[in-house]
Amino acid sequence: MLEAVTPAARKKTGEDDGASSASRPVFDRHATATLGLIFLYVLGLQYLGFFVMTLLYLFFQFYVLTDRETRDIKRLAVITVLFTPLTYAVFRYVFQMMLPTGTLWTQLGGMS
């Protein structure tokens, strides 16, 4: 019974949406991983602050997005380590913007 219904239903939706959107899956491995990483990044900003989280986020995001064959971990790490302090300095000191500091560091500072 179920088998008889599903192919017909699938065919019907396929016709309505047009071939282009039906052929593309809504969930994609890279896109889902990216969304997950951004979520963790934002979550971590609260506690660990911009500097640490950007280092972590960028490295893992680069890792996810590069192909396994061409992946060069050293190169990705170097880009991360160069880009993060540069961005921090430009936005913090040139544009004088506030960046998340992270509650963990302020708490540690309070204890000592």
What does the binding site for other proteins look like in residue numbers (CB under 8 A)? 17, 21, 24, 26, 28-31, 34-35, 38-39, 41-42, 45-46, 50, 54, 57-58, 61-62, 64-66, 79, 83, 87, 91, 95-100
Give the span between the Cα atoms of 39 and 99, in whole angstroms: 18
Q: Which residues of 37-73 are buried (b: 16+ CB within 10 A; e: fewer)?
A: beeebeebbeebbbbbbbbbbbbbbbeeeeeeeeeee
Q: How far is the CB of 80 from other proteins (least distance, A)?
A: 9
Q: How far is the CB of 45 from other proteins (least distance, A)?
A: 6
Give the span between the Cα atoms of 11 and 83, in whole angstroms: 49
Nearer to other proteins, 28 or 108 (CB): 28
Nearer to other proteins, 82 or 108 (CB): 82
Give the span between the Cα atoms of 31 and 44, in whole angstroms: 20
Nearer to other proteins, 61 or 104 (CB): 61
Q: How far is the CB of 97 from other proteins (least distance, A)?
A: 4
Q: How far is the CB of 7 from other proteins (least distance, A)?
A: 18
Backbone phi and psi for residue 9, each to the nearest 5 degrees, phi listed first: -65, -40
